[in-house]
């Protein structure tokens, strides 16, 4: 029988889904419930020691996730199916781990990210849906989808997104990001704004959606939207969309060979920008 010390060390990758309504975001905060802290409590129970969980990014208070990713390095104590069951047996119901993977010990949920996809959900109808309270942004005013799509087209590609970034409380190395996909999808009263990029600035998705909705309401023309975006000034941009309509859908990672090279050349954590996100 193997002793605890004889288990091989592995990188553990958890894919996590959660309703963020009752939590103060992903990151651990003294005196406030967080997703990170709830999962770390269960990991401590399983391994008998505190394990620090690294998330792909910090979702804000009220933000939800379908495919958040978190990682930790520890002896490979349980099989993936057994660990998955053990985690979900002890986690509060709004948090579910949907997948467990074992990777190289150097795998890092934050530093090995290649791209992320967020989705913002809007209920565009006269009356709100009582079954979607704290899950979507209800907008009773009809929205001009064609104008919103014209404005959204200006954001695709590599740009400086300073006008769509809230003050994160620290200096950033750059506010340039590459948006590889930005799609608006309307089905009945449901409108979703789905964005994939190589990185996100603080409240970037919510600020983009807030501006697009103002265009859709006819309170901001597409040319005015362009002027605001190209100004690089957050003070000229419309208000941010509320947190509860935002979902982290998917996190994509570099291939293993690339991750191993990046791990060898990795700068100390303090050399990185803070993880902005939402």
For residue 252, the cross-strand partners are 115
Q: From the CB of residue 179, how many other CB atoms can be counted at a distance below 10 Å?
A: 21
What are the residues whose beta carbons fall under 8 Å from the beta carbon of 105, sequence distance 6 or more? Answer: 9, 10, 11, 73
**Using an 8 Å Cβ cutoff, are 165 and 199 in contact?**
no
Pull the structure tokens for residue 151. Answer: 């404005």
DSSP per residue, the chain: ---GGGSPEEEEEEEEEE--TTSS-SS-BTTB--HHHHHHHHHHHHHSS----EESS-PPTT-EEEEEEEEEEEE--S-HHHHHHHHHHHS-TTEEEEEEEEE-TT--TTTTEEEEEEEEEEE-SSS--GGGTTTSEE--S---HHHHHHHHHTTSEEEE-GGG----SS--S--EEEEEEEEEEEETTEEEEEEEES---TTHHHHHHHHHHHHHTTSS-HHHHHHHHHHT-GGGSPPPPPGGGEEEEEEEE--HHHHHHHHHTPPPGGGSPP----
- Check if 276 is active-site: no
Q: Which of 60, 101, 160, 273 is catalytic?
A: 60
Q: Active-site residue numbers?
A: 60
């Amino acid at each position: 029988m193997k002793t605890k010390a004889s288990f091989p060390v592995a990188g553990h990758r958890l894919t996590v889904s959660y309703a963020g309504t009752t939590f103060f975001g992903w990151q651990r905060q003294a005196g406030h419930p967080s997703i990170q802290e709830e999962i770390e409590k269960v990991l401590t129970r399983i391994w008998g020691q505190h394990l620090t969980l690294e998330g792909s990014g910090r979702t804000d208070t009220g933000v939800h996730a379908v495919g958040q990713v978190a990682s930790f390095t520890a002896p490979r104590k349980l099989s993936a199916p057994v660990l998955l069951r053990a985690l979900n047996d002890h986690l509060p119901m709004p948090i579910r781990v949907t997948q467990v993977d074992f990777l190289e010990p150097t795998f890092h949920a934050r530093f090995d990210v290649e791209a992320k996809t967020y989705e913002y959900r809007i209920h565009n109808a006269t009356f709100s849906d009582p079954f979607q309270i704290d899950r979507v942004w209800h907008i009773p005013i009809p929205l001009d989808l064609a104008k919103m799509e014209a404005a959204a087209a200006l954001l695709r590609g590599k740009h400086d997104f300073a006008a769509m970034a809230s003050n994160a409380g620290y200096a950033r190395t750059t506010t340039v990001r590459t948006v590889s996909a930005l799609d608006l999808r309307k089905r009945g009263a449901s409108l979703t704004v789905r964005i994939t990029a190589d990185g996100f600035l603080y409240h970037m998705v919510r600020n983009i959606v807030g501006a697009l909705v103002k265009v859709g309401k006819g309170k901001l023309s597409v040319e005015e939207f362009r002027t605001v975006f190209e100004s690089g000034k957050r003070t000229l941009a419309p208000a941010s969309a509320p947190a509860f309509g935002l979902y982290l859908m998917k996190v994509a990672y570099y291939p293993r060979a690339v991750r191993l090279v990046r791990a060898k050349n990795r700068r100390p954590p303090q050399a990185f920008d803070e993880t902005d996100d939402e």
